[in-house]
A = this chain, B = another copy of it.
Amino acid sequence: MKGTVLYGPRDVRFEDREESRIEKPTDAIIRMTATCVCGSDLWPYRGIQKIEQPIPMGHEYCGIVEEVGSEVKNIKPGQFVTGSFRIADNTCPHCQFGYQSGCENLGFMSGAQAPQLRVPFADGMLVATPDIPSKDIVPSLLAASDVFGTGWFAADAANVKPGSTVAVVGDGAVGLMGVLSAKVMGAERIIAMSRHESRQKLALEFGATDIVTERGDEGVAQVEELTKGIGADSVLECVGAQESMMQAVHSSRPGGWIGYVGVPHGVSLAGEQLFFEAVHLHGGPAPVRRFLPELIHLVWERKVNPGKVFDLTLPLSEVAEGYRAMDERRAIKTLLRP
């Protein structure tokens, strides 16, 4: 089969790779229905994250189970499934606490930008849909695998409740999913911080009630004004930079909650400042598996349409263009069809 491999900065190749096969009795092989490019794929693509050796790319997936190992009990060939972007057994104590992101058998999925994928710990990783989905909801089921699950976790970590006032820092795919998640959780007011018109439009479609275009201290001042000087109850930090993190901390009211899911790059938090701001801080790699059944249900019942975040669809063989379009900000997120 052919699959996607990153050789160096901006050097994505769609090339011959070995067929996936069952390696352990707990594995499953799935035939990809749709996969996509993640914002985090752009770090090594841009050379920000070092590439030691060619990397099989892709960690978001959904498709039909082709084969399962001898110990797999819950997942059967022929089922349509999706699963988390992190490898976790879903049985260890951390998984039981709902932190599959801290699993004793933690691993990072790779190689999903291909027609076929081996999924370890299939019973723990995969969640089957009630039936084979109709085509129109496939993008949304794919989104649950990472980007929707991560936006959902940001809102969950930020304690969004019915009636909450929420600010979302970052208008990338995850930030937009954060807006959608906050809306589903009943937020009354959702302030999306965005400079890009197309993303503002999508944010409003997903449930944003206000758009703030300013960044840094000016952005904070806008949130203050919109909240009558109180600050937001919940802030979703979906970038991972020093400025965006500080923007999140300062946009929160005393005792407010910050859910941060942008992988921090060079972020440093001063203990004394955090102390006197008295915010709640929680974040990390999203334990998507915890939320998957609920997210699939929401999509299946057509209560949400997170698949709208894909504004470019390409044949898998054109994956390199999918990366380019996101790198050049011509696309928010690229869906790939084998």
With A268-B269, A271-B264, A272-B265 already in contact, the answer to whether A253 and B285 are too (CB < 8 A) is: no
Which single member of B97, B99, B280 contacts A282 (CB below 8 Å)? B280
A280: chain B residues within 8 A (beta carbon): 280-282
A17-57 vs B: 1/0 string, CB under 8 Å?
00000000000000000000000000000000000000000
Complex Cα gap A269–B79 (Å): 45
Q: How many whole Å from A11's CB to the nearest CB in chain B? A: 26
A101: chain B residues within 8 A (beta carbon): 254-255, 278
Counted per complex, copies of this chain come to: 2
Query: Are A98 and B255 in contact, with the CB atoms below 8 A?
Result: yes
Question: Is A230 in contact with chain B by the CB < 8 A criterion?
Answer: yes
Which single member of B265, B274, B277 contacts A269 (CB below 8 Å)? B274
With A93-B230, A254-B101 already in contact, the answer to whether A260 and B281 are too (CB < 8 A) is: no
Which single member of B94, B260, B274 contacts A253 (CB below 8 Å)? B94
Query: Are B279 and A282 in contact, with the CB atoms below 8 A?
Result: yes
Query: Are A275 and B264 in contact, with the CB atoms below 8 A?
Result: yes
Query: Are A267 and B277 in contact, with the CB atoms below 8 A?
Result: no
A93: chain B residues within 8 A (beta carbon): 230, 253
Query: Are A275 and B282 in contact, with the CB atoms below 8 A?
Result: no
Complex Cα gap A86–B127 (Å): 51
With A93-B230, A230-B93 already in contact, the answer to whether A263 and B255 are too (CB < 8 A) is: no
A264-299 vs B: 1/0 string, CB under 8 Å?
111111111011111111111101000000000000
Closest B residue to A101 by beta carbon equals: B278
Complex Cα gap A268–B94 (Å): 27
A80-109 vs B: 1/0 string, CB under 8 Å?
000000000000011001110110000000
A283: chain B residues within 8 A (beta carbon): 274-275, 278
Question: Is A245 in contact with chain B by the CB < 8 A criterion?
Answer: yes
With A94-B255, A102-B255, A268-B269 already in contact, the answer to whether A285 and B274 are too (CB < 8 A) is: no
Q: How many whole Å from A265's CB to the nearest CB in chain B? A: 7
With A97-B255, A255-B99 already in contact, the answer to whether A272 and B267 are too (CB < 8 A) is: yes
In order of increasing CB-CB distance, the 4 nearest A-B pairs are A102-B254, A267-B271, A264-B271, A278-B284
Besides A94-B255, A275-B285, A278-B283, 4 other A-B contacts (C-beta < 8 A): A99-B253, A245-B271, A268-B270, A274-B283
Q: Pull 6 A–B residue pairs with CB atoms less than 8 Å apart, ordered by A.
A: A102-B254, A264-B275, A274-B281, A275-B284, A278-B283, A281-B282
